[in-house]
């Protein structure tokens, strides 16, 4: 497994544990996170504010089902389940496109679709 893929696994593991330090250690200082139609964050501080979204409680369960890599780009597909603060659960699939720099995440584009 490449260093880039190990970083992505550590990043996802951090979300599963709600470990902000672990997640942030996987990022460059000038990281950008874009979820088209939802938000665009720049920098670790903005990124940190989105790790535990107020619409959810507890820890999410994030599972990667496939990862592919070419040059400094890693694409991860997977599933996420999170408990909604107002009741019920979010069950979704995602595709994350990571642009890497020195085995750290420099840019992340997240595509998310809820599965009903």
pLDDT of residue 105 exceeding 90: yes
For residue range 71-95, list pLDDT tens digits in order. 999 999 999 999 999 999 999 999 9
Identify the three-state secondary structure at position 28. Answer: strand
The pLDDT assigned to 52 comes to 79
Whether the predicted model's global pTM rises above the 0.75 cut: yes
Please give the domain boundaries of the chain with CATH numbers for all domains: 3-114 (3.10.450.50)
For residue range 23-43, list pLDDT tens digits in order. 999 999 999 999 999 999 999
Are 72 and 99 in contact by the 8 Å Cβ rule? The answer is: yes
Which conformational region is residue 89 in: left (phi greater than 0), alpha (psi within -120 to 50 degrees), or beta?
beta
Q: Token match 């535990």: residue? A: 52
pLDDT of residue 53 exceeding 90: no
């Amino acid at each position: 497994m490449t260093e880039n893929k190990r970083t992505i696994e550590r990043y996802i593991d951090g979300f599963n544990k709600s470990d902000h330090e672990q997640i942030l250690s996987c990022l460059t200082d000038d990281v950008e996170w874009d979820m088209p139609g939802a938000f665009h964050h720049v920098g670790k501080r903005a990124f940190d504010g989105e790790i535990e979204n107020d619409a959810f409680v507890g820890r999410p369960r994030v599972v990667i089902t496939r990862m592919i890599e070419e040059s400094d780009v890693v694409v991860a597909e997977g599933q996420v389940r999170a408990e909604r603060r107002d009741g019920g659960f979010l069950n979704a699939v995602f595709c994350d496109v990571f642009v890497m720099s020195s085995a750290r995440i420099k840019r992340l584009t997240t595509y998310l679709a809820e599965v009903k």
